[in-house]
Structure 1
Amino acid sequence: MDITGAALVAGVRRCLGERWSIDEIPYINGGSDGDPNVTHVEVNAVRELYGPRVPAVLLSSQEACFGHSGAQSGALGAALTTLMMARGKACPTAGCERPAADLSFDPIPGTSPRPLDFDYALSFTYQIGGLKAVILLGSPDAA
């Protein structure tokens, strides 16, 4: 697996196209199940995509609650992200009490959701060997 995050960056840019800006995305549903390689991919990609605004970006993953179930985990991640938008809260990363020092985003450690009013979010899905999908999700109120 290439941990530079280049494929993920390209996928996000293709997903957003000319219509949306990364600045409109305050939350990402990450696909890492705690695997260091996938975490490095997300760290590097988020750093490249957001530049100096990186610390304000929330990226969490709930996959540790459900296990890695392949493509189904992507559908579950998209559904959970949609619920988070509807409820105005971003869920914490399952099992993350002390985040790694080199993260380029806020993984929402602990067990409490973070209040967040957001209309757009990205959801990442991985399969063995790398990136599978980047999905842009929008709330019904998104313009």
Structure 2
Amino acid sequence: MLSSSLSSRVAAAPRNRGSKYACRASAAEAPAAQKTCFIAMNVFKVKPECAEDFENVWKNRESHLKEMPGFVRFALLKCSNVPNKYISQSTWESKEAFRGWTQSQQFSKAHGEADKDKGGSKRPNVGAMLEGPPAPEFFSSVTMTE
């Protein structure tokens, strides 16, 4: 059980800046009722000569994530101790919200499927920048501190 002092600090803490979604339980909910998030990640091994271009693709891409119900946050992470390793990390309220994203029109747009239908893509060929295919990894949170 949370002390009243800790409980009031938790209740007053900002949840997820810039988002109406939060993955953790409110202070009023019992610890056993804590909510969890679903985190989808893709691990990329980028060719050394393509690292800057790879980063620019992500920085300048048209994102449709914020349009999706259950979206919490996105980050492209660059590994500090393994050269040319990157992880795209999206956090969702639930696995179902993530599935909704992967089956949406916005997902198709974000991944260039609409451009392919029009006879070619204007997007840079990210696949050519990689040493191999991305490795997807999926997680459910056990605990989160924000």
TM band (smaller chain): under 0.3
- Normalised to the residue count of structure 1, the TM-score between the two structures is 0.26
Compare CA radii of gyration and give the structure with the larger one: 2
- Normalised to the residue count of structure 2, the TM-score between the two structures is 0.26
The structure carrying a bigger helix percent of its residues is 1
